[in-house]
Amino acid sequence: MAVTMRDVAQAADVSIKTVSNVINDHPNIKAETRERVLLAIEKLGYQPNLSARGLRSGRTDVISLIIPDLKNAYFAELADAVMTAASKRGKVVIIEQSGGSRTRELEILHGPRMRMVDGVLYSVLGLGQEDVGLIDIPTPMVLLGERIFHGPTDHVTMQNIEASQAATKHLLQRGRTKLLAFGAHRNEVIGSAGLRLEGYRRALQNAGLDYRDELAIDVQSWHRSDGAQAMRQVLESGLEFDGVVAFNDSIALGAMRVMQDAGLRIPEDIAIIGFDDIDETRYSLPTLSTIDPGRRQIAETAVAMLLERIDGAAEATPAREFEADFKVISRESTAIKSAEDSA
Amino acid sequence: MAVTMRDVAQAADVSIKTVSNVINDHPNIKAETRERVLLAIEKLGYQPNLSARGLRSGRTDVISLIIPDLKNAYFAELADAVMTAASKRGKVVIIEQSGGSRTRELEILHGPRMRMVDGVLYSVLGLGQEDVGLIDIPTPMVLLGERIFHGPTDHVTMQNIEASQAATKHLLQRGRTKLLAFGAHRNEVIGSAGLRLEGYRRALQNAGLDYRDELAIDVQSWHRSDGAQAMRQVLESGLEFDGVVAFNDSIALGAMRVMQDAGLRIPEDIAIIGFDDIDETRYSLPTLSTIDPGRRQIAETAVAMLLERIDGAAEATPAREFEADFKVISRESTAIKSAEDSA
DNA sequence: GTGAAAGCGCTAACAT
DNA sequence: ATGTTAGCGCTTTCAC
């Protein structure tokens, strides 16, 4: 059997309580006693049993992160940011992939695994605003993403409308006027797609341009292959455009590849900007202009808020909402090369 | 306080043991009794306390996956494969990022967190063969990667030498003879870099070509930016080559981008093949030929082996080694376009 | 400053 | 087929 606190206590000739005190950095221990205990721990190779501690204290120091899909670069980078933030505070992270499925998200949220973690960061995709009642679980939770607003929990998100508006303005400033809103979900009002489309509209309006519905291109799933396929259809249709506001980087990269195959030059013929600032955008050919959504800030804030809820520091505080700062990252795909660009 | 088994037992008017039996699908329960218990569970919203179960049974149904870095596409895809395989068998996964640091890997391996998981999948990067003595931990473990061989534990890996040899042969067959071994670590014998360089040498030898040391390009860290930088130096140096065997996809993509910037056409001027078959290789311009290392098979096998160790099914079995099947994936970056390709 | 003892919620002997 | 009971290893009052 593994060595327990009792063994350590015996070896150090103190009570089990004293060992516990040393381990948990409690005050009121003579330096000499602490030394002795530490030595015994070292000698016996003692390691606390986390299950026992969890049972007794109600804390496991594990938090859960629910995301749609780790293979998606955006979520891999989010997971990394969350794990880094959690690790700084002594927590480890269990990642649960939902596949964006409603059923699976509910299963996870209401499953027994929730009882073994101190809290949850939930990046919503399957559920929507109408499900706001279903996310009121006993485990402390912080919501991520833009599918549900004003729920019963803290919420950390990015400035979708403002960022999308800035991205659109970025292209308008470069003289492009026939801009695709690439990645729309037509009948969505909130959700990333809905909000980003709204930002696109506002930018057009501010520039005195009309919104033309045929320029809003539906791309249901935001993977690279979907972006590629949607762009293929656009090119076949003969629709005229000189710029693309893509609602995430993956579909932007997919679309870029298809346009280049078709002989279009980027940015000379078509300027394109993405969303998310995934690592890859710095290495594509051309490099992709994009929106930095403030991922690190999102992760840090979400973890901090969650921990406050867990140790009750924010007990009296009502549900908070936090929007991270964003930045337009200008790269080659929207570079200004010469006067005839907008021709 | 949360509802416990005792409450359920009371509500269903049975003993606590019966409730436990129902939950754990033990035999010998009258259908009618089971019904009653299930109903009570439902009504009270009972959820088992996993810490308590873990304490009592010594099992947590959590396994740990130690990898260098989630932002690295290869590891993100590996993590996804592992989580999927684990989930099928009722386990969840804690991901620990080591950053490839020796110290950090040892810290994790010997840390208290190991006592809260049933087993570990450890993708070695920081440690090396000389550390084989340090990885003999009490927690069941399966080793991944190619830094340590013939250790005290099961080991799942890919066929590095054979795969690299096949990749090199793939280029040789296309008439390329001046091939960079891109991503070498000069003084490494085992490790991915060492083994892949060996495969490269064997392929040359089989083709009756001499190994030329100046064609082995050191790239210490295998991120895209490192590949880009190394290729910049190669181009500046004026070294002549007509093909690139890159030791992973990321550095291949970085290098490809730099070559294109320099006006080189791929595959006409330079043919290039990568390693890992990360998703992105299907969408780059041109698409990147690569080696499919058998990721799913690796994940499935590693998880299966680990679980056998955990439930003692493989108690008597000595440490096993398993090599996954690989495949050469031929894409545009090594396509045969015309007769003058090899000019 | 340290010790004794209770008990967290569960599982597994053992009993019936 | 079901009930009784001990105890996993730890933290936490409460004494001293």
Decide if A77 touches B, using CB distance below 8 A. yes
Would the Cβ of A29 be found within 7 angstroms of any atom in strand C? yes
CB contact under 8 A, B224 and A283: yes
Whether the CB of A6 is less than 7 Å away from nucleic strand D comes out as: yes
List the beta bridge partners of residue A243.
A179, A271
Contacts of A256 in chain B (CB under 8 A): 285
pLDDT above 70 covers a percentage of chain B that reads 98
Would strands B243-246 and B179-184 be described as parallel, antiparallel, or unpaired?
A: parallel
Q: Are strands A216-218 and A179-184 parallel, antiparallel or unpaired?
A: parallel
Chain B, window 34-73: residues with a beta carbon less than 8 angstroms from a chain A beta carbon: 47-52, 54-55, 60, 62, 69-71, 73
Task: For residue A72, give both structure tokens.
Answer: 């998606």
The Å distance, CA of B20 to C1' of D4, is 14
pLDDT of residue B287: 95
**pLDDT-flagged residues of chain A (< 50):** 339-343
Q: How do residues A282-295 score in pLDDT, each as one tens digit? A: 988 899 999 999 99
CA distance B286 to B271: 11
pLDDT for res A300: 98
Give the model's pLDDT for residue A338.
52
Residue B184, SS3 per DSSP: strand
What are the two backbone dihedrals, phi and then psi, of residue B194, each rounded to the nearest 5 degrees? -60, -45
Region B167-193 average pLDDT: 94
- pLDDT value at residue A283: 86
| pLDDT tens, residue by residue, B229-280 | 999 999 999 999 999 999 999 999 999 999 999 999 999 999 999 999 998 8
CA dihedral B52, B55, B59, B61 (to 10 degrees): 40
Q: Which residues, 6+ apart, have CB-to-CB distance to A92 below 8 Å?
A: A61, A62, A63, A83, A86, B94, B96, B113
* pLDDT the model gives residue A115: 84
What pLDDT sits at residue B337?
Answer: 63
Mark which residues 289-328 of A lie under 8 Å from B by CB: none
Q: Are strands B179-184 and B327-329 parallel, antiparallel or unpaired?
A: unpaired
Tokens of A322: 């936090």
What is the pLDDT averaged over residues B222-233?
A: 94
Q: Please state, rounded to an integer, the average pLDDT across all residues of chain B.
A: 92
User: How high is the pLDDT of residue B15?
Assistant: 86
3-class SS of residue B213: helix
DSSP-derived 3-state class of residue B182: strand
Nearest to B113 among A92, A224, A225 (CB): A92
Alpha carbon separation from A151 to A109, A121, A131, A134, A310 (Å, rounded): 15, 14, 9, 10, 18
Q: How far apart are CA A229 and CA A251, in angstroms?
A: 9
Give the pLDDT confidence score for residue B339 in this predicted structure: 45
The pTM assigned to this predicted structure is 0.91
- Is B70 within 8 Å of A70 when comparing Cβ atoms? yes
Q: What is the pLDDT of residue A35?
A: 86
User: How far separated are the first and last CA of chain A, in Å rounded?
Assistant: 78
Q: Name which of B258, B200, B188, B193 is nearest B229 in CA terms.
A: B258
The reply to whether the CB atom of residue B71 sits less than 7 A from any atom in nucleic acid chain D is: no
Query: Which protein residue has its CA closest to C1' of C7?
Result: A56
Type of residue at B328: V
Is the CB of B332 inside 8 Å of chain A's CB atoms? no
Q: Nearest 5°: phi and psi at B136?
A: -90, 85
Q: Protein A4 CA to nucleic acid D6 C1', in Å?
A: 19
Q: Do A92 and B97 touch (CB under 8 A)?
A: no
Give CA–CA dist A234/A255, Å, rounded: 10
Determine contact, residues A290/A276, Cβ cutoff 8 Å. Answer: yes
In the sheet with A62-67, reading across from the earlier edge strand, the strands are A321-324, A154-158, A141-144, A119-123, A62-67, A92-97, B92-97, B62-67, B119-123, B141-144, B154-158, B321-324
Tell me, what's the pLDDT at B45?
Answer: 87
B84: its two tokens: 């999927």
For the stretch B50-108, pLDDT in tens is 989 888 888 899 999 999 999 888 999 999 999 999 999 999 999 999 999 999 999 99
Residue showing tokens 């049974």: B57
Is the CB of residue A257 less than 8 Å away from at least one CB of chain B? yes
- Give dist(CA A199, CA A326) in Å, integer: 14
Q: State how beta strands A141-144 and A179-184 pair.
A: unpaired
What is the number of alpha carbons within 13 Å of residue B9 lying toward its C-beta? Answer: 12
Strand-pair partners of A141: A120
Question: Strand C closer than 7 Å to the CB of B59?
Answer: no
Burial tier of A221 (Cβ tally within 10 Å: 0-12, 13-18, 19+): exposed
Residue A15: the pLDDT is 86
For chain B, percent helix, then strand, then coil, each to nearest 5? 45, 15, 35
- In this structure, how many other beta carbons lie within 10 angstroms of the beta carbon of residue A36? 17
What's chain A look like in SS3?
Answer: CCCCHHHHHHHHCCCHHHHHHHHCCCCCCCHHHHHHHHHHHHHHCCCCCHHHHHHHHCCCCEEEEEECCCCCHHHHHHHHHHHHHHHHCCCEEEEEECCCCHHHHHHHHCCHHHHHCCEEEEECCCCCHHHHHHHCCCCCEEEECCCCCCCCCEEEEECHHHHHHHHHHHHHHCCCCCEEEEEECCCCCCHHHHHHHHHHHHHHHHCCCCCCHHHEEECCCCCHHHHHHHHHHHHHHCCCCCEEEECCHHHHHHHHHHHHHCCCCCCCCCEEECCCCCHHHHCCCCCCEEEECCHHHHHHHHHHHHHHHHCCCCCCCCCCEEEECCEEECCHHHCCCCHHHHC
Residues 6+ apart with CB under 8 A from A228: A254, A255, A257, A258, B283
